[in-house]
Amino acid sequence: MHQGHSVDGDTTTPARLDAPATPAAADKPRRARILLIDDHAILREGLSTLIELESDMHVVGQAGSVADGVAVAQSIDPDLIVTDISLPGATGVQGIIELRQRCPRARLLVLTVHSTEEYIRAALSAGADGYVLKDATRAELIHALRAVLAGQRHLCPRSSAYVMRTYLGEQPAARSFAAGVTGREREILAMIASGRSNKQIAQTLKRSVKTVEKHRSNLMRKLGLHNVADVTRFALQSGVLSAEHSTEHAMASDVRFVAAYR
């Protein structure tokens, strides 16, 4: 019988032991064993509480990084690993690749805030069995867990739309910069896409906020961009910002995700 573990940083503590088997318990369906990997403890706790409400699954371990997740997974042999795509100690989808190599039996569901096609494509190519966004409802998440546990591929609506476009040959080509975009404007574009405010950009570049605002306005006009979402999408598609670096707003989204289930 395996003992669950919870790992966060360098601290490992025992989790709840599976209840001893009894004649009555032996007749009950086996509960699926789930490992949660996310670098935000509050999110893991919220997910664990949500999952434990279900009679056919339970959380047997938690981890805050890919390295800890692999170690726990190899000791408890989970049926399903639920992981974010951006974690300490791994960039982008490296964590998914390592988990797939080290834990080939476990099913793997990505739960993340990242909704761009670049992330979705990378996760599926790395071996993820499902992709769900953290703005999913409780019912949507539980449905995704059960689908992946049943051996199916599960994609959230936005992920499904991407796959359909790819299947139909409609995948958008990489975008390129328009003539006249300066090096400074490219630098500012990358900073905007990574989540920095005008004030933060000004402090980094040692320029006034007014100067940054002017560069930002010129940049968006030249590229035909209208908001931060457009800037982030362009930065990813043009290669200015790699997918693994566009993660600075993940913490706020994680907190909102947990709060939604309280």
Residue-wise pLDDT for 57-104, tens only, equals 999 999 999 899 999 999 999 999 999 988 887 766 788 888 988 999
User: How many Å apart are CA 157 and CA 86, to the nearest integer?
Assistant: 21
- Tell me the residue length of the chain: 262
Which residues share a beta bridge with 82? 36, 109
Instruction: Domain ranges for the chain, please list them.
Output: 3-168+251-259, 183-238
CB neighbours of residue 224 within 10 Å = 9
Q: What CATH homologous superfamily does 3-168+251-259 map to?
A: Response regulator (3.40.50.2300)
Res 16: pLDDT = 40
Residues 6+ apart with CB under 8 A from 149: 32, 57, 79, 80, 107
Across 1-10, 57-66, 146-155, 211-220, least confident range:
1-10
Tokens 């797939």 -> residue: 100
pLDDT tops 50 at residue 161: yes
pTM of the entire structure? 0.58
3-state SS assignment for residue 33: strand
Pick the CATH number of 183-238 from 3.40.50.300, 3.40.720.10, 1.10.10.10, 1.10.1660.10: 1.10.10.10
Query: Per the structure block, which two tokens stand in for 39?
Result: 């670098």
